[in-house]
Amino acid sequence: MDHVLEPHLRELITKTFDEWIPFNRILGLHLTEVSAARAVATLAMEPDLVGNPVKGILHGGVISATLDAVGGIAAFAAVLAKADLDDEGRVSALNRLGTIDIRVDYLRPAGGRSFVATAYPMRAGNTVAVSRMELADDAGEIVAVGTGTYIVG
Amino acid sequence: MDHVLEPHLRELITKTFDEWIPFNRILGLHLTEVSAARAVATLAMEPDLVGNPVKGILHGGVISATLDAVGGIAAFAAVLAKADLDDEGRVSALNRLGTIDIRVDYLRPAGGRSFVATAYPMRAGNTVAVSRMELADDAGEIVAVGTGTYIVG
Amino acid sequence: MDHVLEPHLRELITKTFDEWIPFNRILGLHLTEVSAARAVATLAMEPDLVGNPVKGILHGGVISATLDAVGGIAAFAAVLAKADLDDEGRVSALNRLGTIDIRVDYLRPAGGRSFVATAYPMRAGNTVAVSRMELADDAGEIVAVGTGTYIVG
Amino acid sequence: MDHVLEPHLRELITKTFDEWIPFNRILGLHLTEVSAARAVATLAMEPDLVGNPVKGILHGGVISATLDAVGGIAAFAAVLAKADLDDEGRVSALNRLGTIDIRVDYLRPAGGRSFVATAYPMRAGNTVAVSRMELADDAGEIVAVGTGTYIVG
Name all chains with 3 or more CB-CB pairs below 8 Å to chain C.
Answer: A, B, D
Q: What is the structure's pLDDT at B91?
A: 78
- Centroid of chain to Cα B27: 12
What residue spans define the domains of chain B? 7-151
User: What residues 1-60 of chain C have any CB closer than 8 A to a CB of chain B?
Assistant: none
Residue B1's pLDDT is what? 43
**Residue pair D61/D51 in contact by the 8 Å Cβ criterion:** yes
Give C48's DSSP letter.
G
Contact across the interface for B127 and D130, Cβ inside 8 Å: no
Sign for the pseudo-dihedral over CA of A14, A19, A24, A26: positive
Q: Judge: C106–D100 Cβ closer than 8 Å, yes or no.
A: yes
Q: How far apart are CA D111 and CA A28, in angstroms?
A: 44
Helix, strand, or coil (residue A123): strand
Q: Which residue of A has its CA nearest to D104?
A: A147
Q: What percent of chain D has pLDDT over 70?
A: 98
In this complex, the residue of D101, D127, D149 whose CB is nearest that of residue B127 is: D127
Mind telling me how many Å the CA of C104 is from chain A's nearest CA? 12
pLDDT by 10-residue block (mean), chain C, 153 residues: 74 93 97 96 98 94 98 94 82 87 97 98 94 98 98 88
Tell me what pLDDT residue D37 has. Answer: 94
Phi, psi of D91 (to 5 degrees): -65, -40
What is residue D153's three-state secondary structure? Answer: coil
D105 and A145 within 8 Å at the Cβ level: the answer is: no
CATH number of B7-151: 3.10.129.10
- Per-residue pLDDT of chain B (153 residues), as tens digits, is 446 788 888 998 999 999 999 999 999 999 999 999 999 999 999 999 999 999 999 999 999 999 999 999 999 999 888 878 887 888 788 888 999 999 999 999 999 999 999 999 999 998 999 999 999 999 999 999 999 999 997
∠ Cα D87 C110 B96 (to 5°): 70
SS3 per residue for chain B: CCCCCCHHHHHHHHHHHHHHCHHHHHHCCEEEEECCCCEEEEEECCHHHEEECCCCEECHHHHHHHHHHHHHHHHHHHHHHHCCCCHHHHHHHHHHCEEEEEEEEECCCCCCCEEEEEEEEEEECCCEEEEEEEEECCCCCEEEEEEEEEECC
Of B108, B123, B145, the CB nearest to C132: B145
> D59, C99: Cβ pair inside 8 Å?
no
- What are the backbone dihedrals phi and psi of residue B12, each rounded to the nearest 5 degrees, phi first? -60, -45
The answer to whether B123 faces chain D, any CB pair under 8 Å, is no
Inter-chain touch B122–C103, beta carbons under 8 Å: no
Q: Which residues of A touch D147 (CB under 8 A)?
A: 103, 105, 145, 147
What is the model's pLDDT at position C3? 61
pLDDT digit string (tens) for A4-33?
A: 788 888 998 999 999 999 999 999 999 999
Q: Do D127 and B101 touch (CB under 8 A)?
A: no
Best residue in D67, D101, D105 for a mutation probing chain A (most A CBs within 10 Å) = D105
Q: How many CB atoms lie within 10 A of CB B142?
A: 15
Is the minimum CB–CB distance between B153 and chain D shorter than 8 Å? yes
Q: pLDDT value at position B88? A: 83
Q: Are A83 and D68 in contact (CB under 8 A)?
A: no
pLDDT value at A1 more than 70? no
Q: Give this complex's ipTM.
A: 0.94
Chain C partners within 8 Å of B130 (Cβ): 105, 107, 145
For residue C129, give the chain A residue with the closest CA: A100
Position B3 scores a pLDDT of 61
Using CB atoms, which residue from D105, D107, D122 is nearest to A145? D122
Task: Please tell me which chains touch A, using 3 or more CB pairs under 8 Å as the contact test.
Answer: B, C, D
Degrees to nearest 5, angle at CA D34 with D142 and D95: 110
Q: What is the pLDDT of residue A3?
A: 61
Q: Is B101 in contact with D130 (Cβ distance < 8 A)?
A: yes
- C142 Cα to chain D: minimum distance (Å): 14
The reply to whether residue A59 touches residue B65, judged by beta carbons under 8 angstroms, is yes
Among A76-90, C59-73, D54-68, the range scoring the smallest mean pLDDT is A76-90
d(CA B117, CA B136): 6
User: Coil, strand, or helix at residue A106?
Assistant: strand
The predicted structure's pLDDT at residue D3: 61
pLDDT digits (tens, 9 = 90+) for A26-52: 999 999 999 999 999 999 999 999 999
C-alpha distance from C143 to closest chain D C-alpha (Å): 12
* Sheet-wide strand order for A142-151: A30-34, A39-44, A114-124, A128-136, A142-151, A98-106, B98-106, B142-151, B128-136, B114-124, B39-44, B30-34
The pLDDT of A101-111, averaged and rounded, is: 97
The Cβ of residue D20 has, within 10 Å, a number of other Cβ atoms equal to 14
Neighbouring-strand partners of residue B19? none
- Average pLDDT over chain A, rounded to whole? 93
Q: How much is the pLDDT for C84? A: 80
A21/B65 CB distance under 8 A:
no
pLDDT range class, residue D86, cuts 50, 70, 90 = confident
pLDDT at position D11 over 80: yes
Instruction: Tell me: pLDDT of D4 over 80.
Output: no
Closest chain B residue by Cα to residue A53: B21
- The CA distance from C64 to C49, in Å, is 12
CB pairs under 8 A between A and D: 33
- Using only the alpha carbons of chain A, give its radius of gyration: 15
Residue A65, pLDDT score: 97
Would you tell me which residues 53-112 of chain A have a C-beta closer than 8 angstroms to some C-beta of chain B?
Answer: 53-54, 59-62, 64-66, 68-69, 95, 98-106, 109
Nearest beta carbon to residue C103 from set A103, A127, A151: A103
pLDDT of residue C8: 86
CB spacing of B147 vs C147 below 8 angstroms = yes
